[in-house]
Amino acid sequence: MDFFSSTWFMQGVWHPLQTPAHLILVVALGVLIGQHGQRLRVILLVFAILLTMGFVIKQMVTFNLNKELIIVVLALISSVLIILRLTLPSTIIFLLTLLSGILLGLDSSPIFIPGMGESSRNNWLLGTSVSFYLSLTLMMLISTLLNKYWNGIILRVLGSWIATSAIFVLTLMLVKH
Amino acid sequence: MQMIKKHLTALLLITIIILPSLTFAHSDIASLQGGFSSGFMHPILGLDHVVAMVAVGLWGVFLGRPAIWILPIIFPLVMAFGGALGVVGVPISGIEIGIALSGVLLGLAVAFAFTPPLWVAAIIVGAFAIFHGHAHGTELPNATGPLIYSLGFVTGTGLLHLLGITFGELTRWPWGSKVVRIGGATIACIGAAFLLQAL
């Protein structure tokens, strides 16, 4: 039995990029963290730990939560904070990172195929973790750089785009419920 | 700063190495691309939307800072409110008239280099954004992936504002200001044609 499967790993890598709700949360969170530029390494570590915790909890407990709805709400909150560009206490950034990490972990799992081995699932989760982590780091670094130019306007415009999409989709979700 | 640039280069290199190994023929990716591009093309393919969006960018340049970036932020946010009304199914009469009027009035504001206080400009732009948002919002429930569709049309809208801002930057030169104002008059004429059609 292969210990490492590149197919499952790459499918996991694609997961955050194929799931728009996850993608906008990672982008919004990355931009928000980069905009504040404080304790980046600690925040990344918190995110990685909470994401893994989310994966583990998902295996043990089943939640009847509409996780996608909460993820879009978190993206909306993060994007509004980006637009307002307030000086936030690091506790709020940590809290948002914590919630985002755990919810993204809880909402990520490979499509179940009968006879699917444990190693395939683990490879998929590894790919997803790497992808989430790299995407968040990339967004943080890009926004840290962009924050220094034109008073960070580009980031605020990006925040308004994410907020708009989140409002549209939240309305649609609430109407459907 | 140097450290961030170093990290960023390393991450971009990793992305470039990984990307070719991913297959773009994957059906989910294809559907995502389809959803994004149909949302992206929605404001771009409608000339009535295009002229109004470009006019917002042009007007922002005439109004100067901070309007140049506040208007393109206000527009999508209020558009979301209009869109929410569209999604919920709240009817707004005269949507097409409102969209056409936005082209006429915003075009005239650029043509006459009208510079009201920022809050007045924000209210005018915001009011028109509701009509544009409602038009997008009524189409959203039919989209296969609403989130990716909405990201597409918000990006399309934003890029049209950027196009207006870029064109408006010609006002740095004395001749450029005339060119931009002629552009505003053209937008008003196109808006008037749509208005006549809508009435």
At B20 the pLDDT is 47
Q: Which of B172, B3, B24, B121 is closest to A140 using CA atoms?
A: B3
Q: Is the pTM higher than 0.90?
A: no
Q: Searching chain A, which residue's CA lies closest to the CA of residue B67?
A: A153
Distances in Å between the Cα of A149 and the Cα atoms of B18, B65, B91 are 29, 15, 42
**Closest-CA residue of chain B to A9:** B22
B25 confidence band (pLDDT: 50, 70, 90): very low
| Cα(B94)–Cα(B34) distance, integer angstroms | 30
Residues of B in contact with A75 (CB under 8 A): none
> Distance, in angstroms, between A140 CA and closest chain B CA?
10
- The structure tokens 């840290």 sit at A144
The confidence score (pLDDT) of residue A76 equals 93
Range 27-86 of A in CB contact (< 8 A) with B: 72, 83
Q: Is the peptide bond before B66 cis (omega within 30 degrees of 0)?
A: yes
Model pLDDT for residues B90-104, shown as the tens digit of each residue: 888 888 888 899 999
- How far apart (Å, rounded) are the C-alpha atoms in residues B80 and A172? 12
Interface list for B 85-144 with A (CB within 8 A): 87-89, 136-137, 140-141
Residue B113 to residues B1, B67, B104, B127, Cα–Cα distance (Å): 40, 14, 14, 20
B141 with A172: Cβ contact below 8 A: yes
Report d(CA B50, CA B157) in Å as an integer: 8
SS3 B89: coil
Which residues in A68-105 are b (16+ Cβ under 10 Å) and which e?
A: bebbbbbbbbbbbbbbebeeeeeeebbebbbbbbbbbb
Over 90: is that where the pLDDT of A119 sits?
A: no
What pLDDT is attached to residue A74? 93
Instruction: For residue B53, name the pLDDT band (cuts at 50, 70, 90).
Output: confident
- The pLDDT mean for chain A works out to 85
pLDDT > 70? residue B127: yes
Residue B112 backbone dihedrals phi, psi, to 5 degrees: -95, 10
Chain B contact present for A148, CB below 8 A? yes
CB atoms within 10 A of CB B11: 17
Directed axis angle between helix B118-139 and helix B27-45, to 10°?
Answer: 130
> Tell me, what's the pLDDT at A97?
92
Interface touch B84/A167, C-beta < 8 Å: yes
Read off the pLDDT band of A158 (50, 70, 90).
Answer: confident
pLDDT at position B5 is 62
Distances (CA, A) of A159 to A75, B18, B72, B77, B135: 9, 27, 11, 10, 22
Please give the residue that has the higher pLDDT: either B39 or B134. B134
Q: Calculate the average pLDDT of chain B.
A: 80
Give ipTM to 2 decimals: 0.71
**Mean per-residue pLDDT, A36-45:** 82
Average pLDDT on A111-136 reads: 83
Going by pLDDT thresholds of 50, 70 and 90, the confidence category of residue A44 is confident
Q: Which residue has the higher pLDDT, B10 or B46?
A: B46
Burial of B131 (0-12, 13-18, 19+ CB in 10 A): buried
Please say whether the beta carbons of B49 and B99 come within 8 A. yes
Tokens coding A9: 């790993």
